[in-house]
Amino acid sequence: MAIVYNPEKRTISLHTAKTTYQMKIGNLNYVKHLYYGATIPDEDLIYLVRRYDRGFSGNPYDSLAERTFSLDAQPQEFTTQQQGDFRINSIEVQNADGSFSFNGRYKSHRIYHGAFTLNGLPTAFAAENDTVDTLELVIEDAVTKVQVTLLYSVFEEADIIMRAARVHNAGNAAIQLKRIMSVNMDYMNGRNLDLLSLPGRYGQERQVERQPLTHHVHKIRSGRGISSHQQNPFIALMDRNTNEDAGACYGFALMYSGSFLAEVELDQYDQARLVMGINDRLFNYTVNPGEDFDAPAVLMTYTHKGLAKMSHNFHHFFRNNLNRSKFVRDVQRPILINTWEAAFFNFDDQKLVEIAKAAKDMGVEMIVMDDGWFGKRDDDNSGLGDWVVNENKIRCGLTELVRQINDLGMKFGIWFEPEMVSEDSDLFRAHPDWVMEIPGRRAVRSRNQLVLDVGRKEVQDYLIESINRILDSANIYYVKWDINRAITDLWSNVLPADRQGEVTHRYVLGLYRIMDGIIKTHPDILFEGCAGGGGRFDPAMLTYFIQYWSSDNTKPLDNLKLHYGSSFLYPICTMGAHVSAASPMVPLETKAAIAMCGTFGYELDATKLKKKEIRACKKMSDLYHKYYDLNFFGDYYRLANPFEQVNLVAWESVSKDKCEALVTVVTVNLTVNGPQEYIHCKGLSPNTRYHLQGGGYDLVISGMALMHAGIPIPREVPEFSAFLYHIQALDE
């Protein structure tokens, strides 16, 4: 078993292939967190916890005046409330008598095979040949009978632990749940920890910031109703000296697509505490007697081998344990061309066929009809929500248009934005009460659209039925699912006043039900997510969408930073990336090299390309297929940091057997008469002889030389040049 309970020592140890996580049922039945790190055999690590009389740190009443026992200084598996611990907490509950108190102590636990699931929330699953065990540990407040079940699924081979919390009201009166975190993580020595996060903004998503912990509460959050462009539900804590290749590193990724919160506090004793879960701002959930509330899952991993290994753990897990679609591994994804930047709203069926014909010569295999094909939709002021074909544009009808595209030997994709509505739409005129709008106040517009209350079942049913009708009417191969605004005006016309604090979470649960009813019922369609670019790119979304549009910003040099930041958590095969007409000073070949650090496609008008450009695109499309398996399933290494490196950016994909690698280098600022630049490979077998081709090289050389001596990068080249170095092991 990956989970071991020692009844004599009352320790519970979770073991993955290379890590150990230990907790102990300790004094007064409080559950203490003892250790998370490299594998340690089944020892009782309670000796790590030292007790002192800490001034002004209170003691539980039944500690019998034992002044060295205070929850304000003890590492805990899940915190109490109003029991003397003044640090950031895991739960805030208001009881029926108005009190704010939760004194959770050990009640029971059970261990079983398989991964836990949550009510209405996505979780990871056990892939083929995975060893997965689960611990359910119940803590209870003896007075109110409020219980919290701490859930831990241990994915042994993957070095991943999935955690969550379930609140159960076993009392006889309703409670108000005002805060519930999915994970609490205490570090007994946090003074030398750094925090890494992925902040950003629209068009500049998932940038990278690393900062030392200070004696404050460091808060990473989204309050926008979506996981957001501004923050991503991922953080990493690491030792101050940790780099790509070495050092202790702890990664945490929340499987939730709404407003979230991650907090890290360095306390007065240099202990650190991390909590992560639903954002408690504007959140208040009623839990009646006998009811449960499930908090979303968190995926966490530890390694002492640096940031690259942390990323590899997440990448492997995301590819194998989040999405069961055949497009994850069994079916190669087609090269697509999207019509948005080619035509915006100005297209008809004839224009689409013309684009498809021209794109086929580029090696494109699928055309995607973006916004503007439905309702009365000639701009972004009308039609949204009316999921019927606009036959003034698609004059031949959708079924016939798709047939014409298929007759060209190409597949067909389509765009939807299910969660939003235009005021100038038949849907809004029929159901104005379906919109989120606070009584007596006019709703905030964004992109001239309003938000549907998708927490309502009738709204969910309408979207499932109307979108499925379109999907079932033609041979549709691909769907781009978009959302183009944040969530405001939190209000539901079907909830009473005292339950309006549930709206934001009910929205997320409703969205997951809609996606269950559309995506999960169409296993032969490839679904890609989008949120004005990468505004809702999160692990929960990847249980529905095998890929996510990384950003509306298709400028290739900006994407160097965007892909770098995204790669700390997300594998290449999940990052939507296209070659576009943006940045005309950057060669097409360089744009393609950057887009291959993603799912690869085109975002331009193929009918306006010159023959020379079409031939270049065909060559690049062929390279995408040639290196598909290597890029999508290999280990990804960041070789040069675009936030620090001023001359070039580089990355590498290495096959699992270390027999093949592809190194991509993009020059961004090779100064006149400057120094020689070198790129050092990673992940190769030191004693293997490799055939190196590309960038003017055709030679046989050892893995040791490629990793430690490196590859000299040509200097006398045009600005923004790209080089692909293919590395193949020789047969011995």
Decide if pLDDT at 398 tops 90.
yes
Q: Where are the beta strands (DSSP E) in 242-375?
A: 249-254, 260-266, 272-278, 285-287, 292-294, 298-303, 336-338, 366-369
The segment(s) of the chain belonging to CATH 2.70.98.60 are 3-321
Q: For the chain, where do the domains classified as CATH 3.20.20.70 start and end?
A: 338-633
Which pLDDT does position 732 carry in this prediction? 61
Alpha-carbon 264 to chain mean position: 20
Which pLDDT tens digit goes with each residue over 626-662?
999 999 999 999 999 999 877 899 999 999 999 999 9
pLDDT score for 536:
98
CA distances 509 to 91, 462, 505, Å, are 20, 16, 6
Q: The pTM is what?
A: 0.98
CATH superfamily for 639-729 is Golgi alpha-mannosidase II (2.60.40.1180)
**Catalytic annotation present for 552:** yes
Contact between residue 115 and residue 131 where contact means Cβ atoms under 8 Å apart: no
564, 208 contact by CB (below 8 A): yes
pLDDT value of position 371: 97
Residue tagged active-site, from 453, 552, 605, 635: 552
CA distance 628 to 438: 49
Q: At what angle do helices 588-595 and 556-566 cross, to 10 degrees?
A: 10
Using 50, 70 and 90 to split pLDDT, how confident is the model at 17? Answer: very high
Q: Which CATH architecture is the domain 3-321 placed in?
A: Distorted Sandwich (2.70)
- Residues 74, 24 contacting (CB under 8 angstroms): no
Q: Which pLDDT value is given to residue 53? A: 83
Residue 493 banded pLDDT, cuts 50, 70, 90: very high
Q: What is the pLDDT of residue 344?
A: 94
User: What pLDDT is recorded for position 646?
Assistant: 75
Per-residue confidence at 28, pLDDT binned at 50, 70, 90? very high
Q: Which residues of 79-98 are buried (b: 16+ CB within 10 A; e: fewer)?
A: bbbebbbebbbbbbbbbeee
Q: What is the mean pLDDT of the chain?
A: 96
Q: Which of 370, 482, 538, 635 is catalytic?
A: 482
Under the banding of pLDDT at 50, 70 and 90, the label for residue 65 is low
Q: How far lies 95's CA from each of 106, 146, 183, 312, 333, in Å?
A: 20, 9, 22, 44, 52
pLDDT at 63: 83
CATH of 338-633, one of 3.40.50.300, 3.40.50.11060, 3.20.20.70, 3.40.50.1220: 3.20.20.70
Task: Give the number of other CB atoms < 10 A from CB of residue 562.
Answer: 27
Please state, in angstroms and as integers, the Cα–Cα distance from residue 139 to each residue in 143, 145, 274, 522, following that order.
Answer: 12, 10, 19, 41
386-405: average pLDDT:
98
pLDDT-derived band at 253 (thresholds 50, 70, 90) equals very high
Q: For residue 57, give the DSSP letter.
A: -
pLDDT tens digit sequence for 566-583: 999 999 999 999 999 999
| Lowest model confidence (mean pLDDT) among 60-74, 277-291, 681-695 | 60-74
Please give the Cα distance from 404 to 552 (Å, whole number). 29
Residue 374 has pLDDT above 90, yes or no: yes
Tell me how many helices (H) and strands (E) the chain has: 12, 39
The C-alpha atoms of residue 336 and residue 365 are separated, in whole angstroms, by 6
Of 718 and 364, more confident: 364
Q: Given a cut of 80, is residue 382 above it in pLDDT? A: yes
Q: How confident is the model at residue 51 (pLDDT cuts 50, 70, 90)?
A: confident
161-192: b or e for each residue (b if 16 or more CB lie within 10 Å)?
bbbbbbbbbebeeebbbbbbbbbbbbbbebee
| Segment holding 295, helix H or strand E | none
Q: Annotated catalytic, 330?
A: no
Report percent pLDDT > 70 for the chain: 100
**What is the Cα–Cα distance from 589 to 650, expressed in whole angstroms?**
15
354-389 per-residue burial string, b: 16 or more CB within 10 A, e: under 16: ebbebbbebbbbbbbbbbbbbbbbeebebbbbbbeb
Domain span(s) for CATH 2.60.40.1180 in the chain: 639-729
Provide the 3-class DSSP secondary structure of residue 201: strand
* Short-list 143, 205, 195, CA closest to 170: 143
State pLDDT tens for residues 94-133: 999 999 999 999 999 999 999 999 999 999 999 988 999 9
Burial zone of 489 (CB within 10 Å; 0-12 exposed, 13-18 middle, 19+ buried): middle
Q: Which amino acid is at 322?
A: L
Token pair 């280098």 is found at: 665
